[in-house]
């Protein structure tokens, strides 16, 4: 009786919005491959991931989110193990080892690790919420996130490592950490940038240098993709050229158009109005996650929802800003839209956790 009653609180608006974005993403990927037969199978795979992911939302929502708190330690060990194993058995692509090849599909552990680290850190901060004034606890929370961030950085995957650090800063701030600790960490981060620079790969340095000091005479090379992205966005105008009719996309001038630059492909086909409509739905999803955080019965649940909201907001902001050439190119996907089964399943797993918190935000009357 109890398990049936809690479904009255299920956030159908959140699920409907996520389903809309996910289905639209599959449709956009279909257009973005522009008839490339080698990529055609990816549309089918993304559709399968989407269907499986929506089932995952319901399955995770049915599980009491508080169970994850007790499992946080083994979850953390498994996460570190998977990230460390990538260094040994990972498949290399785009200059880094990020995937496990299991035959049928490629699995990217760092994507799921983003959600798992939210669970681990939320559980830690909830257990020590009365001790956040102690530097020892703050340092321990930094080490919890620093270890997986370091392993991801070594892949090398700088953008995802930064995501882990953003998650840490967001959750400790939400948990009530003293401002002076955050200021100290921010200062340490600025100093660390000079230490990290020699450790970056050549292509990572080229991206940063090319962004800060662009060559106006260069027509190809590091700036080509983002230049084509800007052309694609501009050619979309107010209402776009129509689904499957964008010239930059269909003539394949725009590269990695179904992954990193799918926002540009969408903007060309649906214009400014279509891009704003997409972002509005995504912002609504983030708002519902923040709403769930405010409704949560305990600190652990609130931090889970807040962490998922920050993750979606940060990745979307970075991806769109990259497409608009406001920041250097990174490999962060556009949530629910970019091709990638690991990313999609991880995001939908996060939505399932939010739904679980909503379902149990108050005691059910018997």
Tokens of 174: 């939400």
Q: Rounded to whole angstroms, how far apart are CA atoms 113 and 342?
A: 10
Neighbours of 299 (CB within 10 A): 17
Spatial CB neighbours of 52, under 8 Å, sequence gap ≥ 6: 345
Q: Rounded to whole angstroms, how far apart are CA atoms 293 and 308?
A: 10
Peptide bond into 156 cis (omega under 30): yes
Q: List, in sequence order, every beta strand (DSSP E) within 25-120.
A: 91-93, 96-101, 106-107
Q: Is 46 exposed, middle or buried (0-12, 13-18, 19+ CB in 10 A)?
A: buried
pLDDT given at position 90: 53
The torsion of the CA quartet 185, 186, 191, 195, rounded to 10 degrees, works out to 70
Q: Is 347 exposed, middle or buried (0-12, 13-18, 19+ CB in 10 A)?
A: buried
Q: Which of 150, 140, 100 is nearest to 120 (CA)?
A: 140
Q: One digit per residue, pLDDT tens: the chain, 366 residues? A: 346 677 888 999 999 999 999 999 999 999 999 888 888 889 999 999 999 999 999 999 999 999 999 999 999 999 999 898 887 665 555 455 455 555 556 778 889 999 999 999 999 999 998 888 888 888 899 999 999 999 998 888 888 999 999 999 999 999 888 777 777 777 776 777 777 767 677 777 777 777 777 766 666 555 788 889 999 999 999 999 999 999 999 988 888 899 999 999 999 999 999 999 999 999 999 999 999 999 999 999 999 999 999 999 999 999 999 999 999 888 899 999 999 989 999 999 999 999 999 998 865 433
Residue ranges of domains in the chain: 2-359
Neighbours of 192 (CB within 10 A): 12
Q: Rounded to whole angstroms, how far apart are CA atoms 257 and 226?
A: 11
pLDDT given at position 107: 77
Angle between helix 262-295 and helix 341-359 axes, rounded to 10 deg:
20
CB 305 within 8 A of CB 289: yes
Q: Rounded to whole angstroms, how far apart are CA atoms 307 and 164?
A: 11
Q: Rounded to whole angstroms, how far apart are CA atoms 61 and 353?
A: 6
In degrees and rounded to multiples of 5, residue 100 shows phi and psi of -100, 130
Q: Rounded to whole angstroms, how far apart are CA atoms 323 and 115?
A: 25
């Amino acid at each position: 009786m109890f398990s049936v009653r809690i479904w009255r609180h299920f956030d159908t608006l959140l699920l409907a919005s996520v389903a809309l974005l996910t289905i639209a993403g599959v449709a956009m990927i279909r257009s973005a491959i522009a008839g490339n037969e080698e990529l055609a199978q990816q549309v089918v795979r993304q559709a399968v991931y989407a269907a499986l992911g929506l089932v995952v939302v319901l399955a995770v929502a049915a599980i009491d989110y508080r169970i994850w708190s007790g499992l946080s330690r083994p979850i953390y060990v498994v996460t570190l193990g998977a990230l460390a194993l990538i260094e040994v058995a990972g498949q290399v692509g785009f200059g880094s080892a990020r995937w496990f090849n299991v035959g049928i599909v490629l699995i990217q552990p760092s994507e799921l690790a983003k959600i798992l680290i939210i669970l681990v850190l939320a559980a830690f901060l909830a257990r020590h919420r009365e001790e956040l004034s102690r530097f020892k606890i703050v340092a321990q929370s930094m080490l919890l996130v620093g270890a997986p961030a370091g392993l991801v950085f070594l892949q090398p995957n700088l953008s995802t490592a930064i995501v882990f650090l953003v998650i840490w800063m967001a959750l400790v701030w939400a948990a009530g950490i003293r401002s002076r600790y955050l200021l100290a960490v921010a200062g340490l981060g600025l100093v660390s940038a000079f230490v990290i620079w020699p450790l970056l790969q050549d292509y990572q340095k080229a991206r940063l240098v090319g962004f800060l000091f662009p060559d106006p005479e260069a027509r190809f090379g590091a700036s080509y993709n983002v230049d084509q992205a800007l052309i694609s966005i501009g050619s979309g105008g107010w209402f776009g050229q129509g689904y499957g009719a964008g010239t930059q996309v269909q003539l394949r001038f725009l590269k990695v158009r179904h992954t990193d630059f799918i926002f540009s492909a969408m903007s060309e086909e649906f214009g400014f109005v279509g891009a704003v409509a997409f972002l509005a739905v995504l912002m609504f999803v983030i708002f519902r996650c923040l709403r769930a955080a405010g409704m949560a019965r305990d600190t652990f649940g609130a931090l889970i929802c807040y962490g998922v909201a920050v993750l979606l907001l940060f990745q979307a902001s970075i991806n769109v800003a990259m497409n608009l050439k406001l920041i250097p190119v990174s490999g962060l996907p556009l949530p629910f839209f970019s091709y990638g089964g690991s990313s999609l399943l991880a995001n939908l797993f996060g939505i399932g956790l939010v739904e679980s918190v909503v379902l149990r935000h108050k005691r059910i009357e018997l």
